[in-house]
Chains A and B, each alone.
Chain A
Amino acid sequence: MEKWYLMTAVVLLGLTVRWTVSLNSYSGAGKPPMFGDYEAQRHWQEITFNLPIKQWYFNSSDNNLQYWGLDYPPLTAYHSLLCAYVAQFINPDWIALHSSRGYESQAHKLFMRATVLIADLLIYIPAVVLHCCCLKEISTKKKIANALCILLYPGLILIDYGHFHLGLALWGVLGVSCDWDLLGSLAFCLAVNYKQMELYHSLPFFCFLLGKCFKKGLKGKGFVLFVKLAGTVVASFTLCWLPFFTERAQALQVLRRLFPVDRGLFEDKVANIWCSVSVFLKIKDILPHHVQIIVSFCLTLLSLLPACVKLTLQPSPKGFRFTLVSCALSFFLFSFQVHEKSILLVSLPVCLVLSEIPFMSTWFLLVSTFSMLPLLLKDDLLMPSVVTTMAFFIACATSFSIFEKTSEEELRLKSFSVSVRKHLPRFTFLPRIIQHLFIISVITMVLLTLMTVTLDPPQKLPDLFSVLISTELTSANPPLLLRKTGPELTSVPIFLYFICGTPTTAWCAKRCHVRTQDSNWQTPGRQSRTYT
C-alpha cells in the first residue's frame, strides 16, 4: 500500500502508548503474600525451568498448586520456559526455585514488560496491520485509521500481560478469511493450546470451515479440505500435548487444571447474566451444581445456535467476523466461570468489525474498558485507563465520524426496525433513541468512575445503589444487533439478553459486597485466580 509510512507511524504510536502505560505499576505490586498476575507469570517461568515436564501440573513439595499453579494449556508453559531461558541468561535469581517467590525489582519489571512487548510486536501487531490492509471497499486512509483505533483499544493495553493467544487467534481469522484455511486453523489451534478461553471462538471457526467444505461439495474438494483440516487440528494438538500423552493421569490432570468445574457458576463480579440475576435471585442457592452446569450450557448453546447455523449455510468472511462477536458474547454472558477479563475475547472480534459498524463497535469497546475498571483501579491504573480511553474515543470519533453515521441503514438495524414497524407504524425514531442512549451511557460511565474513585457506597443502603444503577443503566451495554445472524425473531431475544448483562450491575454488586462465592467450596490462601 502506498501510505506505508503512515502505517509505520501508527504502529510506532501504538508501541509508544503500550510502553508508557507499562511504566506504571503492575498487578499485585508490593502486595504479599500472593501478589498478583505478574507474580503468577514469573512463577510459571520458575516452575517450567526448574522442574521436569511431568511435574508441571501436579501438586508436589516443589510445585504448590495453591500458589499460582499452572492452569493454562501446554503452550503457555512452553512460552514461559522460553522466557525462563532468557531470564536465566540475564539474572538467574529471577527464577531460582523457591527463593525467587515475590521477587520484585526494576530490572525484572523491565524484563517482563519487554517479553510482553516483544510478543505483541511479533504476533499481535502484524496481524492487526495485515487485517486492516486486507479490508475491502475502504480507502487507504480509512484502513490506517482503522489500524490506529484497534491499536489504541485500551483494554488490551491496560491488561498487563501479553495477548499471545489473541494475536494467534487473529492470525487464524486472517488465514481462514483469505482462504489460507490450513494455516488459519493451525494458528487457531495454537491459540486454543495457549489459552483454553479461545474455545469461545472455536464454534465460529468450525462452522465457517464446515460451511466452506459444504460449499465445495461433500464428495469432491470439500471432503479433501475437511480431511486436511481435521489432520491439521489433530496434528497441532498432538504436537502441543505430546509430553502429556505418555500417561493417562497426566492428560487428565492437565484437563482438570484447565477446566475446574468444581468452582461454581461464577466467581468475582463479572458483567454477565448470572451475576446480574443473582442480585435479585440467588441462583447458586436455588439450583444444585449439576443443574447449574446444564442450564448454563443450554442457554449458551441456544443463544449462539442461530448465528452458527447461518454461517454454516452461507459462509462469508464478513459473516464469520460477526458470528465471532455473537458467539464470544454468548459465551461471556451465559458461560460457566467467566472472568472480567474474558471481555477481551469479545472485544477482539468487535475490533475486527469496527469498520463495518463504527458507532456500535466504539460504544461497545468503551463500555468493555469501563467494565474492567474495578480491576484496573486495583492495579493503580486509573490515570492510564482514563487517558487511553479518551485517546481511543478521540481516534474513533475523528477517524470514522461516528456521530454522523447513525442512520438506520448504517447501524444495521434496518430489518429489525422494519419488522417492528409492521406492528408499530410510528417506530421511526430508533436511531435517535440509540444516540441518546449513547450519550447517557457515556455520562453515566464518567460519573460512576468519579464516584468509584471518590466515594464509598452507603453502608445502610447497599441495595439503593444497585437498584438505581441497574434500572438506569440497563442500556449501557449497547444493543449490538447482528444483522447477519439470522431471522429477526431470534435477534430480538438476543437484543434483550444483551441489555440485561450490564457491567455496571457487576460494579454495583462489588461495591455493595454481594456474596458471589460458593461457601461450600473452600479455597485456603488462594485469591480468585484470573481466568482469561
Chain B
Amino acid sequence: MAALSVMTGGGSWFLALALGVTLLKCLLIPTYHSTDFEVHRNWLAITHSLPISQWYYEATSEWTLDYPPFFAWFEYALSHVAKYFDQEMLNVHNLNYSSSRTLLFQRFSVIFTDALFVYAVHECCKCVDGKKACKELTEKPKFILSVLLLWNFGLLIVDHIHFQYNGFLFGLMLLSIARLFQKRHMEGAFLFAVLLHFKHIYLYVAPAYGIYLLRSYCFTANKPDGSIRWNSFSFVRLISLGLTVFLVSALSLGPFLALNQLPQVFSRLFPFKRGLCHAYWAPNFWAVYNALDKVLSVIGLQLKLLDPKKIPKASMTSGLVQQFQHTVLPSVTPLVTLICTLIAILPSIFCLWFKPQGPRGFLRCLILCALSSFMFGWHVHEKAILLAILPMSLLSVGKAGDASIFLILSTTGHYSLFPLLFTAPGKKNLFLIGWKLSTSLAWALWKSSVNLYSLSPPGS
C-alpha cells in the first residue's frame, strides 16, 4: 500500500500523463489505417524472408524499401517478434494482408517503441526550468512541455491512426537535442548520426547540427564579445566527431558498399522521379506556386492567350505522384528547390556561426532549417511539419513570444494533417475524433501560452 501511495503521489504526474496517452493509443487501435500499414508489413516480410542483398532490389510490392539500412534492421528485429503473432504477414507475396493479429501486432509495436519517445521527453523536461517557482502543477513548464510533447495531436494522428513509426524517431531527435542542452555533445552527435540512418528526412536539420557542433564544440572558447577565437580550435574534437559519424555510417552502409549496391540504395532513398509535390500537397511554397500556375493557365485559356493544344495533359491537381511541367510559370527542378532551401536557411546558419547563443540558439536554427526545408523542399510530405512542431514545443515553454508563434504553427500544422485521415471508410468518424483532439490540443496550447505570459517578464 505504501508503494502504491508513493507511486501515485505528487511527483508522478509524468507517469500518469505517459500512461494516459498510452491508453488512448490503445483505444485508437481499431481506427482507420492508411497504406503505410501495408508498407511496413511489406518491409517486415522483405527483411525477414529475404537475404540482405535482396532488400533494396525487391519489388514484388509497389511499396519498396526506401528508408536507410538501420530502419531495415529495425524491421528485421520486429519481424522476429511478429512471427509469434501471425506467420502469414511475413510472406512477401501476401500483399495487403491485414488479419486482426497483424493489426494488433503492428499497432502494439508502435505503442511499444514510443517508450523511447517518453524517455526523451523526460530528458527534455530536465532541461526546462521555470523562471519562478510555481506551486500550481499546471503552470510548471515541465508539465506543459510534457503535455505538449506526449499528447502531441499530430504525432497521435500520424503514428497511431495513419500508421507510422515516427514516435521513437522523434524520441531519438529530442534525446540528441537534450544531450546537446546538457553539454554532452558527443552523445548528441552520435544519436543524430544514428537517427539519420533510420530516416533520412532528418537531413533537413543536419546543417544546424553541423554548424553548431563545429562552432560551439570544436572551437572551445569565444572572445569576450562572442565572436570566434580561431586559435581555440580543437582538432581532437573535430576528429572524434568525424569518427563517430563515419563509424555509424560504416555500420549502416558498409554491408551495401561491400555488395556494390550503394547506387541502388541511394536511388531508393532519394526518388527524385516522384515529382515536386506529393499526391496530397504539403502546404509549402510549391503548393502556392502550382496553384498560381493553374490559376494563370485557366485565365490564359479564358482570355485566349494560351493555345489549348500546347498545355500538357498531366496536371498537378490530378492527385498523382509523378513529374510534369508547369504551364505558365517556369518549371521547377530539384536543383532549384535545393538552391531555394539553401538561400532560406542561410540567415539562420549565419546567426548560428557568428553569434552563437548556446543550445537555445541551436534549437532555433534547427527549427528554422526544418521549416525552410518544408517550405522549399522537393516532394515534401505534410508529415514533415512535425519536424518543426516538436522542437518548437521546447522553445515555446521558455518565452512568451515563442509560445504565441507555436500556437499558430501547431494549430495550422495539425490542421494540415487532416487530409491524412480523409478516405472513404470511417472518414466522418475520424474527422470528429480529429476535431476533438485538435481542439483539446488547442486549449492546452492556449492554456500554456496564457500561463507563459504570466511566467516570463515582458519584453524578454
Interface residues of A (CB under 8 A from B): 3, 5-6, 8-9, 12-13, 15-17, 19-21, 23-24, 106, 110, 141, 383-384, 387-388, 390-391, 394-395, 397-398, 401-404, 406, 435, 439
- Complex Cα–Cα for A211 and B363 (A): 67
List B residues 1-42 near A (Cβ within 8 Å). Answer: 1, 4-5, 8-9, 12-13, 16, 19-20, 23-24, 26-31
Whether the Cβ atoms of A383 and B8 lie closer than 8 Å is no
- Complex Cα–Cα for A388 and B20 (A): 10
| CB proximity of A22 to chain B, nearest CB, Å | 9
Whether the Cβ atoms of B27 and A9 lie closer than 8 Å is no
| CB proximity of A167 to chain B, nearest CB, Å | 19
The one of A9, A24, A403 in contact with B443, judged by C-beta atoms closer than 8 angstroms, is A9
11 cross-chain CB contacts under 8 A:
A6-B447, A12-B440, A13-B440, A388-B23, A390-B23, A398-B8, A398-B16, A403-B4, A404-B5, A435-B1, A439-B1
- Complex Cα–Cα for A403 and B4 (A): 7
| CB proximity of A386 to chain B, nearest CB, Å | 8
Which residue of chain B is the closest to A144 with respect to CB atoms?
B138
| CB proximity of B422 to chain A, nearest CB, Å | 15
- Complex Cα–Cα for A106 and B432 (A): 15
Q: A106-B425, A387-B26 are in contact. Are A16 and B433 (CB under 8 A)?
A: yes
Which residue of chain A is the closest to B1 with respect to CB atoms?
A435
The verdict on B428 contacting chain A, using a C-beta distance below 8 Å, is yes
| CB proximity of B108 to chain A, nearest CB, Å | 11
Contacts of A401 in B (CB 8 A): 5, 8-9
The verdict on B444 contacting chain A, using a C-beta distance below 8 Å, is yes
The one of A16, A387, A395, A403 in contact with B440, judged by C-beta atoms closer than 8 angstroms, is A16
Contacts of A24 in B (CB 8 A): 30
Whether the Cβ atoms of A391 and B436 lie closer than 8 Å is no
Most buried by A among B30, B137, B426: B30
The secondary-structure label for the interface of chain A is helix
Contacts of A106 in B (CB 8 A): 425-426
List B residues 316-374 near A (Cβ within 8 Å). Answer: none
Q: A5-B446, A394-B20, A403-B5 are in contact. Are A12 and B27 (CB under 8 A)?
A: no
Contacts of A3 in B (CB 8 A): 138
Whether the Cβ atoms of B31 and A23 lie closer than 8 Å is yes
Q: When A and B form their complex, which 8 residue pairs have the shortest distance between CB atoms, in order from nearest?
A: A403-B5, A20-B27, A397-B8, A12-B440, A398-B16, A391-B23, A387-B26, A5-B447
Whether the Cβ atoms of B16 and A403 lie closer than 8 Å is no
Whether the Cβ atoms of B439 and A12 lie closer than 8 Å is yes
Contacts of B409 in A (CB 8 A): none
Contacts of B5 in A (CB 8 A): 401, 403-404
Q: A5-B446, A5-B447, A16-B440 are in contact. Are A403 and B23 (CB under 8 A)?
A: no
Whether the Cβ atoms of B24 and A17 lie closer than 8 Å is yes
Contacts of B31 in A (CB 8 A): 20, 23
- Complex Cα–Cα for A20 and B26 (A): 10
Whether the Cβ atoms of B24 and A403 lie closer than 8 Å is no
The one of B26, B30, B444, B446 in contact with A23, judged by C-beta atoms closer than 8 angstroms, is B30
The verdict on B437 contacting chain A, using a C-beta distance below 8 Å, is yes
- Complex Cα–Cα for A110 and B9 (A): 41
| CB proximity of A87 to chain B, nearest CB, Å | 16
- Complex Cα–Cα for A405 and B5 (A): 10
- Complex Cα–Cα for A141 and B139 (A): 12
| CB proximity of A470 to chain B, nearest CB, Å | 26
- Complex Cα–Cα for A16 and B25 (A): 12
Contacts of A9 in B (CB 8 A): 440, 443-444, 447
Whether the Cβ atoms of B23 and A16 lie closer than 8 Å is no
| CB proximity of A288 to chain B, nearest CB, Å | 49
- Complex Cα–Cα for A383 and B417 (A): 28
The verdict on B109 contacting chain A, using a C-beta distance below 8 Å, is no
| CB proximity of A353 to chain B, nearest CB, Å | 21
Which residue of chain B is the closest to A16 with respect to CB atoms?
B436
| CB proximity of A162 to chain B, nearest CB, Å | 16
Q: A8-B443, A23-B429, A398-B8 are in contact. Are A383 and B24 (CB under 8 A)?
A: no
Which residue of chain B is the closest to A398 with respect to CB atoms?
B16
Whether the Cβ atoms of A383 and B29 lie closer than 8 Å is yes
The one of B27, B429, B450 in contact with A110, judged by C-beta atoms closer than 8 angstroms, is B429
Contacts of A20 in B (CB 8 A): 24, 27-28, 31, 433
The one of B1, B20, B446 in contact with A403, judged by C-beta atoms closer than 8 angstroms, is B1
Which residue of chain B is the closest to A25 with respect to CB atoms?
B30
Contacts of A387 in B (CB 8 A): 23, 26-27
Contacts of A16 in B (CB 8 A): 24, 433, 436-437, 440
| CB proximity of A283 to chain B, nearest CB, Å | 39
| Sample of 14 more A-B contacts, CB < 8 Å, known A19-B432, A388-B23 | A3-B138, A6-B138, A12-B439, A19-B429, A19-B436, A20-B433, A23-B31, A23-B429, A24-B30, A383-B27, A390-B19, A391-B24, A398-B13, A406-B1
- Complex Cα–Cα for A6 and B137 (A): 12
Whether the Cβ atoms of B443 and A12 lie closer than 8 Å is yes
- Complex Cα–Cα for A16 and B436 (A): 6
Whether the Cβ atoms of B436 and A12 lie closer than 8 Å is yes
| CB proximity of A176 to chain B, nearest CB, Å | 33
| CB proximity of A378 to chain B, nearest CB, Å | 18
Q: A5-B446, A16-B437 are in contact. Are A403 and B26 (CB under 8 A)?
A: no
Which residue of chain A is the closest to B430 with respect to CB atoms?
A23
- Complex Cα–Cα for A481 and B432 (A): 42
- Complex Cα–Cα for A110 and B430 (A): 11
Most buried by B among A12, A384, A397: A12
| CB proximity of A235 to chain B, nearest CB, Å | 38
The one of A15, A110, A391 in contact with B20, judged by C-beta atoms closer than 8 angstroms, is A391
Most buried by A among B4, B12, B27, B138: B27
Whether the Cβ atoms of A394 and B19 lie closer than 8 Å is yes
- Complex Cα–Cα for A404 and B2 (A): 8
| CB proximity of B92 to chain A, nearest CB, Å | 30
Contacts of A13 in B (CB 8 A): 440
- Complex Cα–Cα for A390 and B30 (A): 18
The one of B4, B16, B23, B436 in contact with A15, judged by C-beta atoms closer than 8 angstroms, is B436
- Complex Cα–Cα for A387 and B26 (A): 7
Contacts of B19 in A (CB 8 A): 390, 394
Contacts of B444 in A (CB 8 A): 9
| CB proximity of B360 to chain A, nearest CB, Å | 28
Most buried by B among A390, A398, A402, A406: A398
